Structure 1
Amino acid sequence: MPVRVITADDFGVNFVNKSFLTSGRDEYTVRFTQNPAEKHRWRPLTFNEVETLIKNGNTCTNWNTFLVEDPFTPSLIKNSLFAGLVRISSLTECYLRYHDFIVPAGITNSKIISCDIGANCAVHDCAYLAHYIVGNTVILSRIDEMAATDHAKFGEGVIKDGEDEAVRVTIDVMNEAGGREILPFADMICADAFMWARYRDDAKLMAQLKKLTQDSCDSARGYYGTVGDNAVIKSCRIIKDVRFGEAVYIKGANKLKNLTIRSSAAEATQIGEGVELVNGIIGYGCRVFYGVKAVRFVLGNNCTLKYGARLIHSVMGDNSTISCCEVLNALIFPYHEQHHNNSFLIAAMIQGQSNMAAAATVGSNHNTRGNDGEIIAGRGFWPGLSATLKHNCRFASFVLLNKGNYPAELDIPFPFSLVSDNLRENCLDIMPAYFWMYNMYALARNNDKFKKRDKRKTKMQKIETEVLACDTAGEIMHAMELLEHIFETAWTAAGNQPESARYLLTHKRDELKKLPLTAENIEHSARPVKILHGVDAWYAYRDMLVWYGVTVLAKYIDETGSDGEVFSRSGVCSRFNLQNGTIPWVNAGGQLIREDEYDRLRNRIGAGELTSWHAIHAEYDRLWERYPFDRAEHAYSVLCRLAGVSVLAESHWRTYLDEALRLNRYIEAQVLISKKKDYTNHFRDITYRNRAERDAVLGHVEDNAFVQQSKQDAQHYAELFAPRRGSTLVE
């Protein structure tokens, strides 16, 4: 568009093209709803005030459209230009301080075009400030350009009156080639993005989600940008179509365009030096610093982007941190950590509580003729140093990938496993239940670690952080079935008569341990896939299910005050439906929901029963409230399945409690043993002059905070199990 010459009379007016104004509306209609005059007592300037303003070097295209609110001190406005309808709330002689940055209230060396300025704001050296409603006690300092357009959408995936569908902002998560695009909106959480991206075959659902998003925003043109109370924006270059929450702190940004930045006094969001953010939603309490580039994105609450990270076409869940690296077309659930400047995460859905090591390349290596591959990983995914994956891959929860260039697609169904690329023997090695057997410290610390990192005040996205939960328990049961098939196959391959896996595990355990175990349909290659310590892993999996079932059920009985006839016909367990134990669970952005309940929710949305995102979020809340019962019901059915019964009797419960007490001691011991490995390694000591220096730096293993916590947890569980074990329950 060429540069046009306009007159002073046209400067600051006609914000909205008249062709988009319906009868009874003008360019200020929307503005007046955003900042109603009823909340203020604006008045025209007096002759003396105009004279003072002019003497102070100020100019205005029309002083009659310059309104103020008492008390008003005109001497605090200097060397500035005003155009259009300008409304300034009370302005008195005072100073605003943010940390060590102190500025006087007033307006100096700035151009203000059709804005509302709140009480006692400091607006200094703002070369172009247009069509913004600024809250009270706000600092705006040294900003090259800050403006809103009449079609501003503030990062949301909507279109305004008269706009073409092509301008709608979409985010292509999970797949570089598209096909899973979602529309961002201010209240979006991971659960919303997951539903939208995952269930693409549900045409009614897709249409309804798009409609809900479009309907969530007024399509009328003329919305002004807003800056919340007590915000600080300084030393920035270009700001366009951005909605700032209260108490936000922006410093040194290069470009902020088409954004909603949510912030509050309790959860202030901070945007730092050198960042360029376009087409995005930023949640409460986020921190974005030091050269970050993000385009088409959603950040959950309490997220951090820093040190030059690139985030494009991605949704990042609450309590996550990404530094230095490149993340493209990703759907990331809460508690993701990625800190190193040479890691890539591309075209993937990572289901949270995950960590990517340096030089890890998850994605970007396509095995098809197009860039349409995908990777899906369950909770706790941890690709190690220089781990490189090819599309397509799928991983169960809490899979640790050893360093390696994995040459083909992978489908790892074994949770809590260690996967290694064995170049010496040209095979893929999998050790199921690795964490339970050899790294209990990391496993037991998981829940405590993430709860401490949760600094959110606004917790819209519900998150399950327990390692053993309904999703992982289901994966464990499936993995045990796979191992049983592997045992039976290996037994007959060795020339033996066919036997059931349960018989072999009971009567031929030692012989079974000596057999080579291989799995099929794990890697898309001709090389073998070896299962390491498979028999021990099966028993470890069983122990994990017992621990899950007993702890969940014991807590539920304790919390519901159901001591007494727990297993009687009228007891708490009589309400459990055993069949529900076979129902899969969905990880909906961090919240675990029974699949049948989730399907019902999707059907209700598709049928138009839920008419807003607020209503959908209320359903998430309702399902979260009933989650303790659903989880206890699932735990009960798992224990029944392990016992081979349809109803859990007191005798079974006592047996399980005895096992749980044994496992409680095992977990406590293994936490110390696994952590102690860091202290008993000779090479751990070589950088220290003596043991005393090492202890001064590292401390004693017994004094480790989580080792101490594990002892307290063990005592807690012992006290939880003991009364249940000794109670007189009626069968």
Structure 2
Amino acid sequence: MNKISRHPLSSLGYQFIDPKYLPEGADEYYLRNKQNRTKTLFRNLSASELEQLVRNHNQADNWNNILVSDAFNPDLVKNCKFFGLIRIGKLEPFFLEYHNLRMPVGLYNSTIISCDIGDNVVIDNVNYLSHYILGDEVVLVNVNEMSTTSHAKFGNGIVKEGESEDVRIWLELCNENGGRKVAPFSGMLPGDAWMWSRYRTDERFQSKLLSFTQNEFDVKRGYYGKVGDRCIIKNTLIIKDVWIGSDAYIKGANKLKNLTIHSTADASTQVGEGCELVNGIVSEGCTLFYGVKAVRFLMAAQSQLKYGARLINSYLGSNATISCCEVLNSLIFPSHEQHHNNSFLCAALVQGQSNMAAGATVGSNHNSRGADGEIIAGRGFWPGLCVSLKHNSRLATFTIVAKGDYPAELDIPIPFSLLSNDVTHDELIVMPAYWFQYNLYALSRNAWKYKARDKRIEKFQRLEFDFLAPDSMVEVLNSITVLEELCGKAFFAKHPTGQEESNQSIKQKGKKLLSSKDPLVKELDIFATGWENSKRKIRLIKVAEAYTLFKQLIQYYPVYCLSEYYSKVDLSNESFLKELTSKLPAPDMWINVGGQLVPKLCMDQLIADVKEGEINSWNDLHDRYIKLGNEYEEAKTKHAFAIAFADQGIETSDFDKSQLFEMLEASKSFRQAMSEKIYSSRKKDYDNPFRNMVYANEEERDLVLGALEDNGFIQTEKEESQKFIQQINDFQNSLNI
């Protein structure tokens, strides 16, 4: 039975805050007055204004509680019912126009309960408007219900006074069993969500993060909902406990409940037709339209949900797009693309710059006894058409997965790899360094594209978009050893000596074969173990080519960092070179903290500072992100030299100008080769007869696709390559060798 209570009509619009939660000496409007920062001076209605309002078929429970500004025009208020304290700003005889919607300023055909209304607002056919503060030039048209409760939390994972812990909203990220849940809050960055979802055994750290969120907001009851200046809300059914920033545009939504919708004049947020959003945070510059369903979610700045997408118990990073498909229990770092209705993502940590194709099922969670699996995919994760991956799986940076059903869990440690199924021979095929051999155009273009599309207004986290970065290059360094060992094992398997070889001799043999580019390597069957939870073989192909490329990348990487971050430096300056290469950090792991790369030592220090109270709020933590971002360029460059020295066995004290000169010389030829591969990998599409057969001739093809020589990215890339080579020439000249 529905429990319906009856109250005197005279109490409608009053007693918003239960008296037991009112501070001594405060009335029910004390928080409302704190929220409303208008400088307008309000007064009671004049006798003539009251007479005009009644003549216009308006009603009020108490006309003395209708307060207005000096520029109030009663002719612009018709057919409205007022309850409680109402404050109305300036009303002038104009109409407001937005996207061909033209509405006269004023209040018409609406029921308004205890609200503050800004200057020149349009309220027309709002059936129920309760406990809201509206900014200037707000337009509310055809809204069924818009109300705020006294315990509204606006999507934040907090508990108000008098509430029990079980009402707190959690996002159950990365794992369906809730073991990595985090409490969302307005302004939560992807690094915050990642950090909180990890380090679960550190109870003190976890407790501190929860206290940060709880202390971020006032737990008093009685805050009103707010709608910022110049917001347009039309043809919407239910808005309940929603805080809306300025310049937002909401049209045709079904239900918006317990939300913060950030929006600014520079980064407007839009919510469109058929959307149903519950228990979430929408950051500035986001768009959601055409049947989106989102529950227990957070969208970072400049992200999109559209065309029936479902986002549940998930965090979507900035500059990301999810269209049509379903995403559950996932933590997604910035620059993620997922566009297809039959694409499914569940219980995953996707670390950014990712793209999921149609039919991809990342997270078949029914290969265990419970819904408790996880997938961790490094930056640049690309599952292809109809890929099916199993929990648990872990994939290195820039892994691309070819079409197919992968029957068992994967743990792929080598970056830039192509995974594919050889169904005929029942083998998993791994091609290391695939991108550099066959599709350098896509790899390079995406790094350029992600950087260009970063539209965040507030860049607290310094996001890394380059494929050459500390996380991927540490994996490259480790992969060299892996390839040497696997090659050595393959050699002795084919040419047994009759005695068991030591690990060192195996590695040395593989290194000798690969370093000398011995053609014998191509005759070896090179297999890995432990990369797939199955009995089938894991075959590595193009190993010699990958090894050579990885070695070249490591030598090129520090020069690339120098060219990026120290373009004006005089390398003949002995003190600079010594300072740059002395006291180098060990080439240790860097951690992807929500798209920002952080040395593990710095991450450990950050955690210690949180536990010890040196970092005592989310704002303090965000300041640390900024500090680490400011130090990133130098730290990245030093780390690049540390990787190169470790690979080549160079002692810092032995490094001199002549070795730097050789490194610079090698980088020029490698950069030129990269530029040529970028061009040739795209040119293959233009030379492919199967791609050309749908066009009458090359002229038509170029009109439809654009001519290869007119490709903007290729032109930019050629210019950048020439600029790099000239820069390195200048570096070499400054060395005086």
Query: Do the structures match in fold with TM over 0.5?
Result: yes
Residue 68 of structure 1 pairs with residue 63 of structure 2: no
1:420-464 CA distance string (max 9 Å, x none): 011011010000000011111011212211122222223233210
Q: Which residue matches 1:695?
A: 702
Aligned residue in 1 for 2:349: 349
Code of the residue aligned with 1:588 in structure 2: it is V
SS in 2 for 1:582: coil
Q: 1:360-395 CA distances to partner (integer Å, 9 max, x unpaired)?
A: 000033322100000000000000000001100000
How many angstroms apart in 2 are the aligned matches of 1:43 and 1:577?
72
Q: What's the secondary structure of 2:679's corresponding residue?
A: helix
CA distance in 2, matches of 1:533, 1:71: 78
Deviation at 1:572, TM superposition (A): 4.4
Q: Specify the alignment match of 2:501 in structure 1.
A: none
Determine if contact 2:515/2:548 at 8 Å carries over to the other structure: no
Residue 709 in structure 1 maps to residue 716 in structure 2? yes
Query: 1:243 — aligned with what?
Result: 243
Q: Distance in 1 between matches of 2:687 and 2:95?
A: 59
With normalisation by structure 1, the TM-score equals 0.97
User: For the residues of structure 2 that align with 1:7 and 1:638, how far apart are their CA atoms?
Assistant: 76
In structure 1, the residue corresponding to 2:221 is in which secondary structure? Answer: coil
Is the CA contact (8 Å cut-off) linking 1:161 and 1:219 kept in structure 2? yes
Moved over 3 A (4+): 496-499, 575-579
Q: Retained in 1: the 8 A contact 2:675–2:717? A: yes
Match of 2:604 in 1: 599
Identify the match of residue 728 of structure 1 among 711, 723, 735: 735
Contact 1:175 / 1:329 at 8 angstroms: preserved in 2?
yes
1:460 corresponds in structure 2 to: 460
Pair 1:674-2:681 in alignment: yes
Q: Aligned partners of 1:517 and 1:226: how far apart in 2?
A: 64
How far is the alpha carbon of 1:167 from its aligned partner? 0.4
Question: How big is the shift at 1:579?
Answer: 4.8
Q: Which amino acid aligns with 1:19?
A: K
The separation in 1 between residues aligned to 2:397 and 2:517, in whole angstroms, is: 30
Q: Distance in 2 between matches of 1:105 and 1:578?
A: 68
Match of 1:494 in 2: 494
Tell me the distance in 2 between the aligned counterparts of 1:576 and 1:89.
65
Paired amino acid for 2:455: K
Instruction: Give the AA of the match of 1:201.
Output: T
Paired residues in the alignment total: 725
2:723 partner letter = H
After superposition, give the CA deviation of every residue in 1:319-377 in whole Å (9 maximum; x if it has no partner). Answer: 00000000000000000000000000000000000000000000033322100000000
Q: How big is the shift at 1:292?
A: 0.3
Preserved contact between residue 572 and residue 734 of structure 2 (Cα < 8 Å): no
Letter in 2 for 1:290: Y
SS of the counterpart of 1:489? helix
Please say if residues 514 and 547 of structure 2, whose CA atoms lie closer than 8 Å, have aligned partners that are also in contact.
Answer: no
Partner of 1:31: 32
Q: CA deviation at 1:286?
A: 0.4
**Normalized against structure 2, the TM-score is what?**
0.97
**Alpha-carbon distance change, 554 to 685 in structure 1, aligned in 2, over 3 angstroms:** closer
Q: Of 633, 640, 665, which residue of structure 2 is paired with 1:635?
A: 640
Contact 1:564-1:727 within 8 A present in 2 as well: yes
Deviation of 1:541 after TM superposition, in Å, equals 1.0
Equivalent AA in structure 2 for residue 292 of structure 1: V
Aligned to 1:471: 471
What is the aligned partner in structure 2 of residue 542 from structure 1? 551
Aligned-residue offset at 1:573: 3.9
Q: Distance in 2 between matches of 1:506 and 1:184?
A: 51
Q: 1:722 to 1:511 in 2, by over 3 A?
A: same
Contact 1:342 1:358 in 2 (8 A): yes
| 1:289 and 2:289 aligned | yes
Whole-Å Cα distance in 1 between the matches of residues 537 and 426 of structure 2?
Answer: 8
**Cα distance, 1:668 vs structure 2:** 1.2
Pairing 1:211-610 to 2, within 5 Å after superposition: 211-496=211-496, 498=505, 500=508, 501-507=510-516, 509-558=518-567, 561-566=568-573, 568=574, 570-610=575-615
Go from structure 1 to structure 2 and tell me whether the alpha carbon gap of 1:44 and 1:576 turns closer, same or farther (over 3 Å shift).
farther
Say yes or no: does 1:655 pair with 2:662: yes
Paired with 1:651 and 1:503, the residues of 2 have a C-alpha distance of 25
Q: Counterpart of 1:718?
A: 725
Q: Does the 8 Å contact 1:562/1:572 carry over to 2? A: no
Deviation at residue 78 of structure 1 after TM alignment: 0.3
More displaced 10-residue stretch of structure 1: 504-513 or 516-525: 504-513
Whether the aligned pair in 2 keeps the contact of 1:504 and 1:512 (CA below 8 Å) is yes
Percent pairwise identity: 45
Match of 2:106 in 1: 106
Q: Is the 8 A contact 1:446 1:467 kept in 2?
A: no
Greater displacement, 704-713 / 272-281: 704-713
Corresponding residue number in structure 2 for 1:56: 56
Distance 2:213 2:736 in 1: 52
Structure 2 CA distance for aligned equivalents of residues 642 and 540 of structure 1: 13
Measure the CA separation in 2 of the matches of 1:354 and 1:283: 21
* Aligned CA distance change for structure 1 residues 357 and 508 (closer, same or farther; 3 Å): closer
Q: Deviations over 1:121-144 (max 9, x none)?
A: 000000000000000010011100
Query: Do the aligned residues in 2 keep the contact of 1:318 with 1:461 (CA within 8 Å)?
Result: no
Which of 486-495 and 119-128 deviates more?
486-495
Superimposed CA distance per residue, residues 297-324 of structure 1 (whole angstroms, 9 cap, x where no aligned partner): 0001001100000000000000000000
Alpha-carbon distance in structure 2 between the residues aligned to 1:428 and 1:564: 47
C-alpha contact 1:468 1:548 (8 A) present in aligned 2: yes
User: What letter matches 1:246 in structure 2?
Assistant: S
Change (3 A) 1:355 1:209: same
Match of 1:7 in 2: 8
AA at the equivalent of 1:510: P
Is the CA contact (8 Å cut-off) linking 2:477 and 2:647 kept in structure 1?
Answer: no
Distance apart, 1:574 and its partner CA:
2.0
Q: Secondary structure at the match of 2:43?
A: strand
Give the secondary structure class of the aligned counterpart of 1:172: coil
Please give the root-mean-square deviation of Cα atoms over the aligned residues, in Å.
1.4
Partner of 1:623: 628
What whole-Å deviation, never above 9, does each CA across 1:634-675 have from its counterpart, x for those lacking one?
Answer: 111122223311223111111111111111110111011100
The answer (yes or no) to whether the contact 2:364–2:388 under 8 Å persists in 1 is no
- Contact 1:422–1:429 (CA under 8 A) maintained in structure 2: yes
In structure 2, C-alpha distance between the alignment counterparts of 1:49 and 1:2, rounded to whole Å: 41
Secondary structure class of the residue paired with 1:213: helix
1:514-569 deviation line (CA, Å, top 9, x unaligned): 101000110000000000011111111112222222110233332xx430444x3x
Structure 2 distance, partners of 1:659, 1:203, is 50
Unaligned residue ranges in structure 2 (runs of 5+) = 498-504
What amino acid sits opposite 2:395 in the alignment?
F
Mapping for residues 92-241 of structure 1, pairs under 5 Å: 92-241=92-241
**Residue 689 (structure 1) shift:** 1.7
- Sort the Cα spacing of 1:729 and 1:606 in 2 relative to 1 into closer, same or farther, 3 A: farther
Q: Does the residue aligned with 2:330 lie in a helix, a strand or coil?
A: strand
- The CA distance in 2 between the partners of 1:33 and 1:714, in whole Å, is 57
Q: Choose from 612, 619, 627 the match for 1:614.
A: 619
For residues 537 and 725 of structure 1, what CA distance do their matches in structure 2 show? Answer: 29
Tell me the amino acid that sits aligned with residue 534 of structure 1. Answer: V
The CA deviation string for residues 263-321 of structure 1, in whole angstroms up to 9 with x for no partner, is: 00110000000000000000110000000000000001001100000000000000000
Q: Tell me if structure 1 keeps the 8 A contact 2:460–2:623.
A: no
Rounded Cα–Cα distance in structure 2 between residues aligned with 1:118 and 1:686: 62
